[in-house]
Amino acid sequence: MEEKYELFHRDGSLWAKGQHIQGIYTGYWEWYRKDGTILRSGFFNQGKQTGEWTTYDKEGKVYKVTHKK
């Protein structure tokens, strides 16, 4: 069963959020900078990055898109 999961920077701000099944990343995840702006997003399948991954600049605009197999 999928469970929501969050990781935090040392200062307590949100670092990443997504879901996992028994500790294995699955589905859509987002990573954030300490200032709260989104840094990267993409999907996991059985703990491995898959499909389209997007990296964002400091203003939240798309910087680059990569594809994982």
Give the separation between CA 17 and CA 14, rounded to whole angstroms. Answer: 8
> Is residue 5 a contact partner of residue 11, using CB atoms and an 8 Å limit?
no
Predicted confidence band of residue 41 (pLDDT cuts 50, 70, 90): very high
**1 has a pLDDT exceeding 90:** no
> Is residue 18 a contact partner of residue 27, using CB atoms and an 8 Å limit?
yes
The model's pLDDT over 4-29, given as tens digits with 9 standing for 90+, comes to: 999 999 999 999 999 999 989 999 99
* Per-residue tokens: 23: 């500790």
Q: What one-letter code names the amino acid at 33? A: R
Predicted confidence band of residue 2 (pLDDT cuts 50, 70, 90): confident
52 in helix, strand or coil? strand
